[in-house]
Amino acid sequence: MSDIFPKWTNKLPAYLIVGGALVGSAVVAGAWYYFTPKYTRVGYQPIQPVSYSHYTHVEQLGMDCRYCHTGVEKSYHSNIPAASTCMNCHNQVLKDDPRLELVRESAATGKPIPWVWIHKTPDYVYFNHSVHVNRGISCFHCHGQINKMDEVQHAQPLSMTFCLDCHRNPAAFIRPVEQVYNLNWQPDSATKQLADGKKLVAQWKVQSLENCSTCHR
C-alpha cells in the first residue's frame, strides 16, 4: 500500500481539518463584519413611485417635518402623509403635472401610494419616535441630512451599537427641543454640546437606559 499512497498522505486529514477551520473562520468573520447594517443598509436609496424631493420642500420652501409626518411627536411611528395632505398644496401648485398623477389618483380613490419603506427596524425592536423627538433627539441624528436629499436614502446603520452609543451618552447628542426639526443646526463646539447636553439631560430627567427590555419587548 505504501507504493500507492506516499507517507505525506497520512497527514492529509489533519491538513483538511485545519484548512477547513481556517476557511470557515474567515467566512464567518467576513459575514460577521460585512453583513451588518453599516454595510447592508447605509446608502440604500430605492426609486419611489412618485419622486419627492425633501430638498425642494424642506430646504427651499421651508416646510416643517411635522406638516407631513404628523404623528412624530405623539406616536411611536412617524407616519407617511396621505395624498390628501399633498393635495393641500398641489391642488394649486403643479396641479396638472403628470409626475403627480399617482398622488391625484390616490387622493381621489383613497388607494395608498405604494411607497418603498426605507427605514425599518426588526420586529423585535421597539422604537418610539415621540419619546426621542420630545427629548431633544433630532430627525437628523437617525436620518441624516434628509433636508438636502432629492431621493431619501438610508444614512445611518440604526444598529444596536448605533442606538447604544446615544443611550450611553445622551448629552453628546441631545439638542434644544426648538432645534429638533432644524436639520441644519449645529452646536458651536463639541465641548459646548457636551456641557449644554448635560444640563438638558438633567432638566428633562433623561435616563441612560441600556437594559434589554428598553428596546426588546
pLDDT of residue 35: 63
Report pLDDT digits (tens) over 64-88.
999 999 999 999 999 999 999 999 9
Residue 32 pLDDT level (bands cut at 50, 70, 90): low
pLDDT of residue 194: 97
Identity of residue 215:
C
> CA–CA distance from 204 to each of 21, 132, 200, 208 (Å)?
52, 12, 6, 12
For helices 101-109 and 83-90, give the axis angle rounded to 10 degrees. Answer: 120
What average pLDDT does range 155-159 have in this prediction? 93
Whether 216 and 126 have beta carbons less than 8 Å apart is answered as: yes
Whether 165 and 137 have beta carbons less than 8 Å apart is answered as: no
pTM: 0.80
Give me 138's grid cell: 433630532
Q: Give the whole-angstrom CA distance, residue 177 versus residue 201.
A: 12
User: What does the mean pLDDT of the chain come to?
Assistant: 91
Residue 3 pLDDT level (bands cut at 50, 70, 90): low
